[in-house]
Amino acid sequence: MQELVGIYRHSGSDSKEFQRHIIPLVFQDARISDWRYRAEIAKYWSGEFHQMEQHVGHLGLEDLRLYCSTRDWHNCVGDLLAYIANVLAPRGCDEIARNNYAILRKMLSRKLTDS
């Protein structure tokens, strides 16, 4: 999550820049196309952040890093998941694994030639 949020924030509003750095593989149980599910995820991370916030004075350095990451995640998770849901990408394990992961290999090859 930390890396994904970092890429998302670094890309700003440039969706092509974000897409250059990720290969979205969405499994059936992800349900990120449903705004209700995205809201549940955002609510979960908001709860995690607020629980940590109550203990921030007692957190060690590593937990403070986690606290900052959780703050970033809970602030943008809904937008991030909505964006990924709207990117044309293979959906479901069967689609991803079809023809010996051909679509994934093609996406990786494209990323390598673009960099």
Angle in degrees, CA 45, 46, 48, rounded to 5: 60
Cα dihedral 15, 16, 17, 22, rounded to 10, equals 90
pTM given for the model? 0.68
pLDDT in tens, the chain (115 residues): 778 888 888 887 677 788 888 887 778 788 888 889 989 988 998 999 999 999 999 999 999 999 988 888 888 888 888 888 877 576 778 888 888 888 888 888 877 777 6
Residue spans of the domains in the chain: they are 31-114
Name the 3-class secondary structure at 34.
Answer: coil
Q: Six-digit token pair at 28?
A: 């059936």
Query: Can you tell me the distance from the alpha carbon of 50 to that of 64, in angstroms, rounded to the nearest whole number?
Result: 13
In terms of Cα–Cα distance, which of 49, 16, 51, 36 is closest to 81?
Answer: 36
Amino acid at 83: Y
